Amino acid sequence: MSAGFHGALAGMRVVDLTRVLAGPLCTQTLADHGADVVKVEPPAGDETRKLGPPHDLSGNAAYFLALNRGKRSISLDLSKPDAQDVLHRLLADADVLIENFVPGTMERWGIGFEQTLRERYPKLIYCAISGFGRDGPLGGLPGYDAVLQAMCGLMSINGDESIGAVKVGIPIVDHLTGYVALTGILMALHARGRTGTGQRVEATLFDSALSLLLPQASNWFTSQKEPELLGSAHPNIAPYDKFKAQGGDLFIGILNDGQFRRFCTHVGLDDLPVDERFVTNARRVDNRLALKQLMEAAIADIECGRLCDALMRAGVPAGPVNSVPSALEHPHTKHRDMVVHQGTYTGLRSPVRLSGTPGSPGRPPPGFAQDTDEILTQIGFATQEIESLHRTGAAPRP
């Protein structure tokens, strides 16, 4: 195996058994930074290939395109011994295996980490992603992002009294879990450099979702007061909220008294910083509704975009509430080179930036099993053996 470009992870070999979001996001980031990632899909394919519309001209859902750049694809039915032989050949020189099956699946096939792989491949980093982990009251059960948002309290603090609790508009738990897995893999690789041995890395949606309760969990531990629905406001900071201006909404994030004074000076509210209701952040939090009314009255006739620009340049963090297209077309998005264009493929660049070993987006996401014969040949299978794997369904054709 060989990566198509140089990066911090050039030479790293990754066997990716994951589907849907958290795992593929993790391995796409590895690929963007030089790792050679072989995506092993089940015969039915990664579910996200079908999670549309929209779809591209090849029939792949946009969801799949977002998560699988830079990988080569092969399909294996790992319940079959012949397919497991292919997996073992892939693992012979692999650094990382990452999977997100329901816990116990790899063991049922006889290829679990402690059961088989750790002894056979002592340097292997084995990363398991799951909803709840292997044990405990919920151990081994399946989990999805929105279900975890509900179970772990995230929905209970997102929304307002008029609409009640709502999920976050992106799969934020899956997204964070992908980065938790990435972090764990890189830590384990660093440890292997000292010890010479691999280890098992675990990332769960449950743990990741709970870790997002910042600062709400700490607020609860300290006060025993249950967090409330605050809309776009912050439980500990004011003014830190969405406000209406002329022609649109903006978010103003004021963290300290200096920023508050600068804001008030800019919009003609010079009396507010000495008003007893607003002299400290704690007082502003207690009187947030009255403060918001005064602020919105002061900015009602100021054009939203002009106000945001002026506040930022005055040292007051503020930004317009942009649509997704507006955010993607923003001049700073272009300056940061965050959108990747490769022929008919368009995607978002990895946010990880390294100066000495910069990453580079790999080739567009692969078609289902499109690299099967190339990969099988590369790991030593003869033409006749490859035909047999196709015929038995151990390695289905594209």
Looking at the chain, the whole-number percentage of residues with pLDDT higher than 90 is 96
Quote the DSSP letter at residue 55: B
Collapsed DSSP state (helix, strand, coil) of residue 138: coil
Q: List Cβ<8 Å contacts ≥24 apart for 379-386.
A: 379/86, 379/89, 379/90, 379/92, 380/89, 381/86, 381/89
- CA–CA distance, 398 with 368 (Å, rounded to integer): 6
Structure tokens at 18: 């994951």
Closest CA to 307 of 298, 189, 186: 298
Q: What is the pLDDT of residue 6?
A: 76
- The answer to whether 250 and 316 have CB atoms below 8 angstroms apart is no
Going by pLDDT thresholds of 50, 70 and 90, the confidence category of residue 5 is low
Whether residue 174 lies in the annotated active site: yes
- CA–CA distance, 177 with 25 (Å, rounded to integer): 9
Structure tokens at 274: 């000495």
Closest CA to 22 of 166, 199, 170: 170
How do residues 90-103 score in pLDDT, each as one tens digit? 999 999 999 999 99
- CA–CA distance, 133 with 118 (Å, rounded to integer): 19
- Does the pLDDT value for residue 1 go beyond 50? no
Going by pLDDT thresholds of 50, 70 and 90, the confidence category of residue 4 is very low
Q: Does domain 13-211+338-392 have CATH number 3.40.640.10?
A: no
Question: Which residues of the chain form CATH 3.40.50.10540?
Answer: 13-211+338-392
> Taking residues 237-251, what's their average pLDDT?
97
Specify the residue for token string 């993790």: 26
- Does the pLDDT value for residue 194 go beyond 90? yes
Residues 6+ apart with CB under 8 A from 344: 56, 57, 364
Mean residue pLDDT of the chain comes to 95
Question: Which residues of the chain form CATH 3.30.1540.10?
Answer: 240-323
- Does the pLDDT value for residue 3 go beyond 90? no
The model's pTM is 0.93
| Greatest Cα-to-Cα distance within the chain, rounded to the nearest angstrom | 85
> Taking residues 303-315, what's their average pLDDT?
96
**Active-site choice (16, 32, 95, 174):** 174
Let me know the angle formed at the C-alpha of 323 by 321 and 325, rounded to the nearest 5 degrees.
140
Collapsed DSSP state (helix, strand, coil) of residue 162: coil
Q: Which amino acid is at 140?
A: G
Q: Which amino acid is at 270?
A: D
How do residues 29-69 score in pLDDT, each as one tens digit? 999 999 999 999 999 999 999 999 999 988 999 999 999 99
Please provide the DSSP assignment of 370-392 as one string. TTHHHHHHHTT--HHHHHHHHHH
The CATH class, in words, for 240-323 is alpha beta
- The answer to whether 7 and 357 have CB atoms below 8 angstroms apart is yes
Least confident stretch, 5-9, 12-16, 149-153, 246-250: 5-9
How do residues 201-243 score in pLDDT, each as one tens digit? 999 999 999 999 999 999 999 999 999 999 999 999 999 999 9
How do residues 146-186 score in pLDDT, each as one tens digit? 999 999 999 999 999 999 999 999 999 999 999 999 999 99
